[in-house]
Amino acid sequence: MMGAGGGVMFRVATLLFYITFGIYGWLLFSVVFIRYPITPEHLYELTLAARNVNYVPFQTITNYLHGTYRVPTFDAWLNVFGNIVMFIPLGIYLQIVVKRKRITALLILSTTILIESVQYVLNIGATDIDDIILNFTGGMLGMYAVAISFKLLGMRPTFYLVTLCSVIVHVLTFLYRQ
């Protein structure tokens, strides 16, 4: 990941980094998939139910912001920004692990397409090109934040900073959920 070597502090930071990356992955999975119960009845209904799919870029975002869906304004903005913010950590973690922007971008895009595909197959949530656009945007913001930090601070300080912030955010998230 960062290169061979390093003392105890680096090894502890590396362990914490991967633990927080795993926790983030679980949180992302649970936010996207677990909020919908998948029961045997649901699996049977997969063959009967119509799927909610949008292939037109920015249509859902525009409909939210213009009030077409009659969703409260706060919920509309929460959906738009939530889809961005939810993927910022993915870009951060992947850029630290991979270090190559092109591969990181491809992994971010692949992840969000996979999520939308699974939602389609399981008929949970809505399959929407806007979600792919927003998720990818969030991931790219995270990736570029790390790339800029690498240039300004260096790789190891960025790694320590991201690990520390991740631990703090995860502890606060855990405390908030209690």
Distance CA 177, CA 175 (A): 6
Q: Compute and round to an integer the Cα radius of gyration of the chain.
A: 18
Task: List the beta bridge partners of residue 53.
Answer: 127
Give the start-to-end residue ranges of the domains of the chain. 8-177
Q: What is the pTM of this model?
A: 0.86
Percent of the chain with pLDDT over 90: 61
Query: What band does 168 get if pLDDT is binned at 50, 70 and 90?
Result: very high
What residue type is assigned to position 35 of the chain? Answer: R
Query: What band does 76 get if pLDDT is binned at 50, 70 and 90?
Result: confident
104-138 residues labelled b (16+ CB within 10 A) or e (exposed): bbebbeebbeebbeebbeebbbebbbbbbbbbbbb
Query: Reduced to 3 states, what is the DSSP secondary structure of residue 115?
Result: helix
Q: Is the pLDDT of residue 46 over 60?
A: no
